[in-house]
Amino acid sequence: MSRDQVALPGILNRGSVVGRVSPSRLFLAQMPYRRTENVERRLAARHAAIIAAARQAASEGGMVAVQIAAVARRAGIAAGTVYRYFPGKTDLIAAVLAEISGREIAAVRRAADNAPGPLSALACTIMSFAARVLRDRRLAFAAIAEPVDAELDPVRLKFRKALADEFATRVRAAISGGHLPEQDAALAGVALLGLLVEGTIGPLAPLPPGRERELVQSLALVALRALGLPDPRARGLVVQTMIGDDC
C-alpha cells in the first residue's frame, strides 16, 4: 500500500484502500457554492427582462396573452429559461401583478410626497392614479379587473387593498389637518378606488381619446366633493394640480 493510500477501517471493508484526501480538498468540497456578483446581476437582469416582456404582453392583449413561449420570444430567450425562474404561467402572472402593484403604489406615493400639503397630496394621489390608468387602460384592466384564475385573486386583492390604503392615508391626513370633515377614512379609501376604477376602465367608463385631462379632473372633482370639500375649494384644487407621475 502506497504512502498516499489508507486502509478503510476493518469493520467497514477489510483490505480495501482509498486515496488519502488532503485537508484543503476536503474543505473545498464542503464549502457551499456562492454566486458571484456578476452572476447575481445577470440573473437579476434576466428576471427583469422576463417580467418586462410579460408586462408588455399584458399591455397589448391582457393577462391571457401572458404565455410562457410568447414571453420567452419577447425576452429573446428559450422557453426553458423562463421555466427556470417561473414554474408555470400562474407564477409568472403573479410576479407581473406584484411588479405592477409595486410600481403603481410607488408612483402615487411619490406624487403625494411631492405635494405641498395634505389636501394637495390627496388631490395628487387621486389624479396621478387616474392619469396613469388612462395612459395604459389595457394593462390597468388586466391588473385590476380582468378575470383570471382563482388562485391569482389574493395577489390582485392585495394590490387593490394597497391602493385603497394609500387613498385612506391621504384622506386621514387631510382630516387631521382640518381640511375635510370627520369620516371613516378606510371606507373613503375603498370608495375612492371604486370611483376611479369604474370611471377609467369600467364597462361604462367613457372612452377618453383626447379628453384624458378632462376626465381626470372630472373624477377628481367628484371625489373631492364626495369627501366633503366645498365646491369652490375643490375646483380650485383640481385646476391647480398638475397632472403627471409626480403631480
Q: Could you report the per-residue pLDDT of 14-65, keeping only the tens digit for each?
A: 444 444 555 555 444 554 556 688 878 888 999 999 999 999 999 999 999 9
Q: Model confidence at 7, in pLDDT bands (50, 70, 90)?
A: very low
Residues 81, 111, single domain; the answer is no
Residue ranges making up the domain that contains 61: 36-87
97 pLDDT more than 80? yes
Report DSSP letters for 46-79, one per residue: HHHHHHHHHHHHHHHH-GGG--HHHHHHHHTS-H
The cell numbers describing 54, all together, are 410579460
Residues 70, 144, single domain; the answer is no
Residues 141, 234, single domain; the answer is yes
**Which CATH number is 124's domain given?**
1.10.357.10
Q: Note the pLDDT of residue 242.
A: 78
Residues 57, 149, single domain; the answer is no
Residues 139, 233, single domain; the answer is yes
Residues 72, 105, single domain; the answer is no
135 pLDDT more than 70? yes
Residues 136, 192, single domain; the answer is yes
Does 176 fall in a domain?
Answer: yes
Count of structural domains within the chain: 2
Nearest residue to 219 (alpha-carbon basis) of 203, 243, 187: 243
Residues 146, 229, single domain; the answer is yes
Domain boundary among 87, 111, 129: 87
Q: In this predicted structure, which of 17-26, 53-62, 115-124, 238-247 has the lowest mean pLDDT? A: 17-26
**Per-residue pLDDT tens digits for 170-193:** 999 999 999 999 999 999 999 999
Residues 208, 107, single domain; the answer is yes
Q: Note the pLDDT of residue 109.
A: 95
Residues 77, 146, single domain; the answer is no
Domain boundary among 59, 87, 115: 87
Residues 232, 121, single domain; the answer is yes
Q: In this predicted structure, which of 131-145, 165-179, 233-247 has the lowest mean pLDDT? A: 233-247
Residues 132, 78, single domain; the answer is no
Does 108 fall in a domain?
Answer: yes
Q: Note the pLDDT of residue 17.
A: 45
pLDDT over 70 percentage in the chain? 84
Spatial distance between the Cα atoms of 13 and 95, rounded to a whole number of angstroms: 53
Does 227 fall in a domain?
Answer: yes
Does 114 fall in a domain?
Answer: yes
Any idea of the CA torsion for 196, 211, 110, 192, to the nearest 10 degrees? -10
Q: Note the pLDDT of residue 11.
A: 43
Q: Note the pLDDT of residue 247.
A: 63
6 pLDDT more than 60? no
**Which CATH number is 48's domain given?**
1.10.10
234 pLDDT more than 50? yes
